[in-house]
Amino acid sequence: MNEIIEKIRAEFLQDSKAIKSLKDLEPFRVKFLGRKGLISSAFDRMGELPKEERPLFGKALNELKKELEAQYQELLNRFKRAEEKGHRLDLTLPGRKPFAGGRHPLLKVADEIKDIFRGLGFSIEDGPEIENDFYNFEALNIPKTHPARDMQDTLYITDDILLRTHTSPVQIRVMKRQKPPIQMIAPGRVYRRDTPDASHSPFFHQVEGLVVDEGITFADLKGVIQAFAHRMFGKDVKVRFRPSFFPFTEPSAEYDFSCVFCGGKGCRVCKNTGWMEISGAGMVHPNVFKAAGVDPEKYTGYAFGMGIDRIAMIKYAIDDIRIFFENDVRFLNQF
């Protein structure tokens, strides 16, 4: 008699351990407590016992039934609670970062460039992106007939109004409104009629530099570019100047930095030259001084250009300029 009771209890305990979720619980209940379950069947078989044992067995079976029902109820409550909790909050899941905007990599690099030049005593100047022919070309010693105008594919709005092709017109604007000494940079966006590819974009960003005073020489220009290179890319970067031509400077040069990827040994990025072309520079042409109302007999000066996109591409090892303007958050989130 007791054997039957103990067997059911043991089996109940055993099966209860295998229950993993609410849905395992119903077959479990049916097996033990259902209408044709083990307890019911035991009641049905009571008739097989000798008469005098039946009341005791009935009592014991009733107690077992109550006991198992209580345990079943407890299991049910426990799994219900677990399931609800699971729906509400799973503390083991990785957290979701709130989406926050940030500064565009080009703005970050522009800020860095500005900080470096501010530290060297330069002021930050600004000029319009929609320019007159006079500031963009004429005053920079590029007359209408000058073949140098072919160097830049210009986006014209009218015959006389255009989207500036470089930041050099800011030189003229500053010299017209301010007497030397002048020591300024002008960062900003410029436009050219270029078909986009990995190294061309119809708009990009430059920094113009201009220093005008009595006794300014090419050595000052070299010193400043060198100081910039060291602060931007580290003390090991070398600078070289190559003779070149720009209508607004004489003499003119292009300047390169030693490749920051291979240290000048030659690699894929610098096309095995060991050098990376940065931009142009030179001593301000007397015609430019005249157009801007500065006395070329009294003052000398140097000017330089610089590509912000180019510097950013070097700094972040990016090989396609278009990625800056696609606004792909997977790219932008990395900065």
CB of 97 to ligand DAH, least distance (A): 40
Long-range contacts of 19-23 (CB under 8 A, 24+ apart): 19/75, 19/79, 21/79, 21/83, 22/76, 22/79, 22/80, 22/83
221-260 binders of ligand DAH (CB under 6 A):
246, 249
Which ranges of 18-129 would DSSP assign to H, the alpha helix? 22-33, 38-44, 54-88, 105-119
Which 3 state secondary structure label does DSSP give 164?
coil
Q: Which is nearer to ligand DAH, 154 or 168 (CB)?
A: 168
CB of 274 to ligand DAH, least distance (A): 23
Q: Which is nearer to ligand DAH, 225 or 237 (CB)?
A: 225
Task: Give the residue from 231, 212, 208 showing the smallest Cα distance to 220.
Answer: 212
Is 166 a binding residue for ligand DAH by CB under 6 A? The answer is yes
Q: Which is nearer to ligand DAH, 12 or 246 (CB)?
A: 246
Is 208 a binding residue for ligand DAH by CB under 6 A? The answer is yes
E strands within the chain? 123-124, 130-132, 161-163, 182-191, 203-213, 239-246, 249-258, 275-284, 300-304
**Per-residue buried b or exposed e for 260-296, using 16+ beta carbons within 10 Å of the residue's own CB:** beeebeeeebbeeebbbebbbbbbbbbbbbebbebee
Is 282 a binding residue for ligand DAH by CB under 6 A? The answer is yes
CB of 272 to ligand DAH, least distance (A): 25
Which residue among 110, 281, 292, 321 contacts ligand DAH (CB under 6 A)? 281
User: Rounded to whole angstroms, what are the CA distances from 48 to 8, 16, 31, 45, 100?
Assistant: 18, 29, 22, 6, 77
Residues 6+ apart with CB under 8 A from 74: none
Is 285 a binding residue for ligand DAH by CB under 6 A? The answer is no
Pairwise CA distance, residues 113 & 15, whole Å: 72
Residue 328 exposed, middle or buried by CB count within 10 Å (0-12, 13-18, 19+): exposed
Is 300 a binding residue for ligand DAH by CB under 6 A? The answer is no
Q: Which is nearer to ligand DAH, 105 or 280 (CB)?
A: 280
Is 280 a binding residue for ligand DAH by CB under 6 A? The answer is yes
Q: Which is nearer to ligand DAH, 88 or 144 (CB)?
A: 144
Q: Choose the stretch contacting ligand DAH; rule: CB under 6 A; options: 102-110, 223-231, 298-306, 324-332.
A: 298-306
Is 187 a binding residue for ligand DAH by CB under 6 A? The answer is no
Total of residues contacting ligand DAH (CB under 6 A): 12
Pairwise CA distance, residues 91 & 77, whole Å: 21
Q: Choose the stretch contacting ligand DAH; rule: CB under 6 A; options: 51-59, 175-183, 265-273, 297-305.
A: 297-305
Q: Choose the stretch contacting ligand DAH; rule: CB under 6 A; options: 21-29, 73-81, 280-288, 290-298.
A: 280-288
Q: Choose the stretch contacting ligand DAH; rule: CB under 6 A; options: 17-25, 111-119, 174-182, 278-286.
A: 278-286
Is 279 a binding residue for ligand DAH by CB under 6 A? The answer is yes
Which residue among 12, 299, 304, 324 contacts ligand DAH (CB under 6 A)? 304
Q: Choose the stretch contacting ligand DAH; rule: CB under 6 A; options: 1-9, 124-132, 301-309, 317-325.
A: 301-309
Residues 6+ apart with CB under 8 A from 215: 300
Q: Which residues bind ligand DAH (CB under 6 A)?
A: 166, 168, 208, 246, 249, 279-282, 303-305
